[in-house]
Each structure stands twice: as structure tokens, then as C-alpha cells.
Amino acid sequence: MTNTRSRVSVCVAIAATFLFIAGGTAARTEQGPEELRGQVSSIAGDKITIKLSQAEWLPKPAIGGEGIDVKLGQEISGIFVPLMGMFAIVQVNADSCVAQPVGAEAHGEAAVGMLAVIATAYPHRPQRVADYRSPPNPAIVQAAEAGMPDMQNSLAMTAASKGDYDGALNWWERAQAGATDRFVAAAAALGRARILETRHQYDAALAALQDAVTRTAPRADELTFASYSQSDYTRTGSAVEWHVDLLGEIASVYRGPLRNTDEARRWYAAAAEIMEAAATRGVPNAGDPSHEWYLDLLVDLGELHLRYMEDEETAVPWLLAAARAGSERAQSMLRELGRSW
């Protein structure tokens, strides 16, 4: 399921835009160096601290908050020879960053003094140290410190957009703990989980997500297409859809890094049950403005059953309904299956 990643990406993008506007700074035309370099300054467990060589630039995560790839190694006769395995930056500080091994393959052993090379091609254009150090709007900080979860969520998104994942986790944890708004509870949990997953802290990620699931469950009267599709520009989705995203994120943790397909299937099935209710109650007519959105829901259901639950027979009827109503995405998927509509 892809909705979770896109939803968090939208939130981080909104926060970054707000930070830019609030700061009142002029748009910068320079894009920074093509790569950043540094040296490993210390190692604690799997955490590798890198002291950066450039005084003006820092790495910046792509929208969405995932780790930033970094190569560790040494230069031999003018040629950089990287360590085996993948490494990613999991925290950006004002003058350094922290990396750790990622992926299941074998990794070379990092050592103090080893070189680090961080590519800054799009979407990882670097940020200026001055921008990283720029404080957030004092009014938002004051409100967040006073205990307003929506402002805490805003500060967390700003921190995440800079790569300050420690700061983001702090504010998101506070926002989730105090949230009475289902949107804030879900957004905070998804933001926390994404960072914790990058750091391989899967139990903590699942705990955050499962807490939010219990607090965002839709009412019986919300299990309709109208409730599922209801949104506005500040929320980028309905409370019901955010709840489905939480279920899908839990399933993806079990299916991916934890390799527990049975547990993943259970959570995917819970998401599918809500989506199926929305797809069969209050269905819009073909001429309704929301009909295209309805077709997307049908295809999402088909994809969920087909690609994530490996249940082609359940997937096909949803795809057929969408394809016959004109969905090109459904038609393409059915062609891949060798089926007509």
C-alpha cells in the first residue's frame, strides 16, 4: 500500500513550505555542492557519527523523511573505495550527522577516520547550516510547549524536513500522547513510525502505530464512501482513510523487515474490510465529481488483494468493476493478469 508514504510526504512538504514562508527569506538559486564529504569521528554500537568537512552545507532528506544514503570507505591512489553494504543517515545535526547500516546484506566495518561521501543530487539537495539553525516561529513553539498537539505536530514536521529526526520524534511523541484529534494522532504515529523504521526500531514503530489505530477507529456510520473520501486541503484525507493508512503501515512492517506474512495479512485484511465497506455503501453515480476517486478506491482494493495479500480471485472483481467503468489503471493490471473485461 502506498497511501501512507504519500500522506507523510505531503505533511513534510507542507511543513517545509511553512518554514520557508515564516522565515521571510528570499528564494536561493544556488543548489550547493554535488556531494558532501566528512570523516567518521566516533562509533557507538551501529551508530556512526560523521563530522562534515563543509562548514556551510548539510545533507537534507528527500520529502518523506527516509534515510539519506551515504558511502563509507577510504581513498586509495585518488580513488574512493566504499565499504561493502548500504549505509544511511538517520540524524542530521548542525555540524555532523549520524549513519547506520541498512538492509539485510553483509556490511563492511566502519572505523574512526574513515571517509564519508554523501551524494546531493535531487531529491537530496543540501541545505544551508544557517537554514538548519533557523528557529521556528516563536508563536508555534510557545503553543507547542503549552501542550497544543497540532502545534507539536507542526514542529515535528519542520524538524523532520531538516533531517533532525531526534527533534521530530520528541515532538511527535508529545503530539500523539496528547492528541484528541484523530488526524493529529494518526499523522504523529505515521511520522514517528517512518523514522523508527529507518532506524530499525520496529517494535517501537509498531507500538506507536497500534496506539493510534485504537484511537482512530471509525464509527459504524463512517463506513461509507462519503466518509472515506471526505477531505480538505489542510488534512489531505479523511479520518477513515488515515486509519486505513495506519493499518497498512503496520502490515508493511510485518511483511517487510519482520518477514511475518501471516501477521501482515491480518492487518491488510483489516484495512481491506474498511475499504470494502466504503466501496459498497453510498456509491457515487458515474456523473458525480467524486466518481473518479471511487474508481481509484476500487483499484486500490484490487491492488491490496493482488499484490499484498496474494489473492487474485478476490482482487479481480474489484478490478473488473473499475475497468468496465473506464479506469485505465485497472485495465492495465488486468492485462498483466491476462484477463479481459
Q: Where residue 120 sits, what CATH number does that domain have?
A: 2.40.10
* Best CA proximity match to 302, nearest among 285, 279, 270, 326: 279
pLDDT of residue 103: 84
Domain boundary pick from 65, 90, 125: 125
pLDDT of residue 235: 55
- Identity of residue 317: P
Does residue 17 surpass a pLDDT of 90?
no
Q: Please check whether residues 66 and 181 belong to one and the same domain.
A: no
Q: Please check whether residues 141 and 54 belong to one and the same domain.
A: no
The pTM score is 0.87
Q: Please check whether residues 120 and 143 belong to one and the same domain.
A: no
Q: Please check whether residues 118 and 139 belong to one and the same domain.
A: no
Separation of alpha carbons 200 and 192, rounded Å: 12
Domain boundary pick from 96, 125, 154: 125
**pLDDT greater at residue 55 or residue 280:** 280
Q: Please check whether residues 186 and 148 belong to one and the same domain.
A: yes
Q: Could you tell me if residue 261 is inside a domain?
A: yes
Please compute the mean of the pLDDT values over residues 82-105 and round it to a whole number: 93
Q: How confident is the model at residue 31 (pLDDT cuts 50, 70, 90)?
A: confident
For residue 224, give its domain range.
135-336
Residues 171 and 149 sit within 8 Å (Cβ to Cβ): no
Tens digit of each residue's pLDDT (9 = 90 or more) over 193-205: 999 998 999 999 9
Tens digit of each residue's pLDDT (9 = 90 or more) over 270-304: 999 999 999 999 999 998 999 999 999 999 999 99
3-state secondary structure of 87: strand
Cis link prior to 123 (omega < 30° from 0)? yes
User: Into how many domains does the chain fold?
Assistant: 2
Does residue 134 surpass a pLDDT of 90?
yes
